[in-house]
Structure 1
Amino acid sequence: MSASIQPPAETRFAEELAALAANDKAPRPENWHLSPQAVRQFILGSEGAALTHEWEGKKTKTFITRKYYGETALIERCVVTLLGHRGLMLVGEPGTAKSMLSELLAAAIAGDSKLVIQGTAGTTDDHIKYSWNYALLLAEGPSQRSLVPSPLHIAMQRGALARFEEITRCQPEIQDTLVSLLSDKALHIPELGDDSVLFARKGFNVIATANLRDRGVHEMSSALKRRFNFETVPPLADKKQEMELVKRQAEALLADSNIAVKCPEDVMEVLVTTFQDLRLGRTEEGTVIERPSTVMSTAEAVAVAHAAALDAHYFGKGTLEPEHLARQLLGTALKDNADDIKKLRHYMDVVVKARAAKSKTWDRFHQARKGIIR
């Protein structure tokens, strides 16, 4: 069987999780795979310190990589929330790593990040609670054998974490299915009898995510909001951190494809600076520009870096160049709003042109606009 394109976090970071578990001396809450301190270290990294442990029958040293670039206090608040009785709601602009953070927390705490409900306009009660194998249901009637548990149902049984992605994409009456589940930590299954109730084991909780741009799609009820602690995941503001993150993730994607491409620091700086300028609507020099309607997130920057590196590998000389960035930027900055082409052209003709007079890299980026942005 060929390797998965994107294995779950508990598979990708299995060695790191094993190293943390072997060195974790702090108290662990019931059904938690790691202590709260170790969960924080898994997400924020070991700051260059290696952990000694057994791995595949051999003694080895493992570095815990930093996976989330942002404030430490946010991670600590998220972990503390999951220690309590309220669910955790991660909100923010698209592309701010809400889903990634949800996945990392579930992998570190429960050892399983795959118990996911994907919120859509078509999500029903069955997706949240349980459904039935109708062949068995007709043959045998309602029974545990014919019941098909949802990811949340399984999480309650195990004392694990369930993830609810894009919760505001669901209809309000479907969202409110969670109200009693989060309040009582119990799931009633009347088809199996009046007294058939699944009581959640300790460790059970829900991590939900919602995009701020979806506000107004399906507003959450006040009753459901009270069952969650809300944490806003902000965009990365530190350019140095964003450059490190974009470069690391792009190189990881290339490594998965067994592709080696040189990514010069000055070219990566052009990419990240461009994204930060367009995201904020303001340049480092203080020039105010119009922001495009599309989301210029860090996740999009990673996608552009990866695509540009593939361009460099297959159609270039194996080194990422400004021309590759310019070609791939268009597909990200221009989605469905025709006015965005004017904003991008203005950015190139004013901001990038001014920088081109002082930098060869910016000059090549500026020259590459010809034939791409008309």
Structure 2
Amino acid sequence: MTTAPSRSAAPEAAGRQISPPEDRYATELAFLAAHDTGPRPPAWRLTPRAVVTFVMGSDGDTLRLPAGTDASEGVPRRLVVEEKFVGDRALVERCVVTLAGERGLLLVGEPGTAKSMLSELLSAAVCGTSGLVVQGTAGTTEDQLKYGWNYALLLAQGPTRAALVPSPVLTAMTGGGVARVEEVTRCLPEVQDALVSLLSERRIAVPELSGGDDALLHAAPGFTLIATANLRDKGVSEMSAALKRRFNFETVGPIGDLGAEMALVRRQARAAVERAGTTQQVDDTVLEVLVTAFRDLRDGRSAEGWEVERPSTVMSTAEAVSVAAALGLAAAYFPGGRDVLGLLPGHLLGVVRKDDPADASRLLGYWDGAVRRRAEQGSATWRTLWDLRGVLEE
């Protein structure tokens, strides 16, 4: 559930590791704006239907601009819109309807389920930028959600509109855009409370300015906010009932289909390896074992129905992508004929024991259970993994 490289995407800008979706998929966004000319909510760049197509792809179908449509220079007349989010289409449609109603959207789920990526894609499609974002932490202040001051101008001119430094949220408000707040439950309760009046009254008071309307900054049509929160975070601040009522909650779950998860891990790992300047790829046999192990440990049950003790850490698709990319890079940078599969146990161990040292014994239990049973059933690949059990004991 992470972004896949698109053939229709704009090339990465020089000096960037990753471009934001509004730049990366600029061609697709321009094409969809011309392709679907139906009704759009206030200030939206695309129709709600086109936003869903942008996120979910055109299912391999080639879309064509209607006859007589005037397209901007560089916009193709036909295009296959590639899938960027692997998940439930109905979930994405509900998210789009929430935003069209100018209501706050809260994406919740386990870490690594592409909540942030989905919020980026939605905001890029709706208002043309995913950059109006506040990263929630214990150190996030109310000013970062509202406004600050240019102190040089403040001293020279006093509190004026020119001296005001808007937050990303305020910029979205006054411009009718989409603001994003990552990890909102990491913010302290008093900081979260700043969002309550903002989402209900749709204005921010600036008492330092002169009285009357000049002291109130109002939300323009189209403004809304997307927040994300992880279900497994420790030390988070519980959201108040008042703030919860200002959001529609949508849960983003892990990918349900093995084939779909394998395809995504393959695409993302390939993109990561290519960014590193090589083309070495992990073969499908190793990828299938990798993704299967992640799914078994994530679900607490193997595909065969065998019980598996779950580690405390989250075995997310994003982590699987990182391991697949690491295997590809190891094969590229340290050639010599060694079996890439032999590197997998060590990488899995590095993933599972991040939170709790006892998770190493849980991984060993997985080897003594599901891995051994598959080896005994005659799988040569899983037999090789079983023979590598000693790596987990070093």
Check whether TM > 0.5.
yes
1:250 aligned residue (269, 290, 299): 269
Take 1:286 and 1:99, find their aligned partners in 2: how far apart are those partners? 32
Q: CA deviation at 1:114?
A: 0.5
Moved more, 123-132 or 346-355: 346-355
> Structure 1 pair 265/121, CA: closer, same or farther in 2 (3 Å)?
same
Correspondence for 1:178: 195
What one-letter code is carried by the residue in structure 1 that aligns with 2:57?
G
Q: Which runs of 5+ in 2 are unaligned?
A: 1-12, 66-70
Take 1:114 and 1:8, find their aligned partners in 2: how far apart are those partners? 8
Does 1:368 pair with 2:388?
yes
Deviation sequence 1:27-86 (CA, Å, 0-9, x none)? 111210110000000111111122357686474643211111111110010000001132
Take 1:215 and 1:341, find their aligned partners in 2: how far apart are those partners? 21
Correspondence for 2:139: 122
C-alpha contact 1:95 1:298 (8 A) present in aligned 2: yes
Correspondence for 1:132: 149
Does 1:159 pair with 2:176?
yes
Take 1:306 and 1:356, find their aligned partners in 2: how far apart are those partners? 26
Deviation sequence 1:286-339 (CA, Å, 0-9, x none)? 211211111101111111111111111111369983123223222211113111
Residue pairs, 1:40-55, within 5 angstroms: 40-52=52-64
Residue pairs, 1:276-355, within 5 angstroms: 276-316=295-335, 321-355=340-374
What one-letter code is carried by the residue in structure 2 that aligns with 1:51?
L
Take 1:162 and 1:262, find their aligned partners in 2: how far apart are those partners? 37
> Structure 1 pair 258/61, CA: closer, same or farther in 2 (3 Å)?
farther
C-alpha contact 2:108 2:228 (8 A) present in aligned 1: yes
> Structure 1 pair 258/16, CA: closer, same or farther in 2 (3 Å)?
farther
Deviation sequence 1:230-277 (CA, Å, 0-9, x none)? 111111121111111111111122222332123322211101100010
What one-letter code is carried by the residue in structure 1 that aligns with 2:383?
D
Correspondence for 1:15: 27
User: Per the alignment, in what secondary structure is the counterpart of residue 192 of structure 1?
Assistant: coil
TM-score, normalisation: structure 1: 0.95
Take 1:343 and 1:109, find their aligned partners in 2: how far apart are those partners? 44
Take 1:97 and 1:214, find their aligned partners in 2: how far apart are those partners? 15
CA RMSD between the two structures: 1.9
Take 1:48 and 1:320, find their aligned partners in 2: how far apart are those partners? 35
Deviation sequence 1:77-109 (CA, Å, 0-9, x none)? 000000113200111111111111111100111
Take 1:329 and 1:362, find their aligned partners in 2: how far apart are those partners? 15
C-alpha contact 1:15 1:62 (8 A) present in aligned 2: no
Take 1:324 and 1:10, find their aligned partners in 2: how far apart are those partners? 37
Correspondence for 2:210: 193
Correspondence for 1:36: 48
Take 2:281 and 2:348, find their aligned partners in 1: how far apart are those partners? 19
Correspondence for 1:74: 91
What one-letter code is carried by the residue in structure 1 that aligns with 2:39?
P
Aligned residues: 374
User: Per the alignment, in what secondary structure is the counterpart of residue 88 of structure 1?
Assistant: strand
Moved more, 54-63 or 93-102: 54-63
C-alpha contact 1:129 1:153 (8 A) present in aligned 2: yes
Q: CA deviation at 1:8?
A: 0.8
Moved more, 139-148 or 298-307: 139-148
> Structure 1 pair 312/73, CA: closer, same or farther in 2 (3 Å)?
same
Moved more, 117-126 or 348-357: 348-357
TM-score, normalisation: structure 2: 0.90
Take 1:125 and 1:283, find their aligned partners in 2: how far apart are those partners? 46
Moved more, 315-324 or 41-50: 315-324
User: Per the alignment, in what secondary structure is the counterpart of residue 160 of structure 2?
Assistant: coil
Take 1:172 and 1:338, find their aligned partners in 2: how far apart are those partners? 32
Q: Which runs of 5+ in 1 are unaligned?
A: none
> Structure 1 pair 86/59, CA: closer, same or farther in 2 (3 Å)?
closer
